[in-house]
Amino acid sequence: MERDDRNRGISEGDEPRDQEGVNPGDSRNLEERDELRVQRSEEELRAGVREREAGQVGVKKSVRTERESMTVPKKREELSVDRVPMNDEGAPGQIGDGEVSIPVVEEEVVVSKRPVVKEELRIKKAVVEEEEIVEADVRKEEVEIDDASGTGRHQQ
């Protein structure tokens, strides 16, 4: 206990107090007044809170590559040759060289990629209240009365 704490809270006036917290000037006045006032003090435990940073949460996106496959229907043209005998014997024919070009078409698969938003993550903070029990030692003054007068009548 510091000296300032011991000197706190005793009777009347601003007179200095001894180590037990009793104002020595009051004992001289006890004969003039019929009482001596001694205040008994105790420490009270008080607790509060303050905010501090408890850590951080990091949010990081990374890219992972996966192989995907899908079936794509496609079309193509094929040629077929059918030989058909001609029954018309009187039709004139031609003999000579010649070339005919017939285009053959097919569909080609074209792959493209584009980013599409699939979901959104909403990261929120919420205040959660909980209770914590704290303990500490507190000091309490005790008052003893040493009666040398022998009357033995004291109430506390």
pLDDT in tens, 32-56: 778 888 999 999 999 999 999 999 9
Decide if pLDDT at 7 tops 50: no
Q: Determine, yes or no, domain membership for 127.
A: yes
**How many structural domains are present in the chain?**
1
Q: Determine, yes or no, domain membership for 16.
A: yes
pLDDT digits (tens, 9 = 90+) for 100-154: 999 999 999 999 999 999 999 999 999 999 999 999 999 999 998 888 876 665 5
CA 98 remoteness from chain centre: 84
Q: Determine, yes or no, domain membership for 107.
A: no
Q: How confident is the model at residue 8 (pLDDT cuts 50, 70, 90)?
A: very low
Would you state the torsion angle of the CA atoms of residues 74, 79, 82, 83, taken in this order, to the nearest 10 degrees? 180
- Return the pLDDT at 11: 44
pTM above 0.85, yes or no: no
**12 touches 22 (CB < 8 A):** no
The residue to which tokens 């004291």 are assigned? 154
Domain that holds residue 13: 1-43+115-143
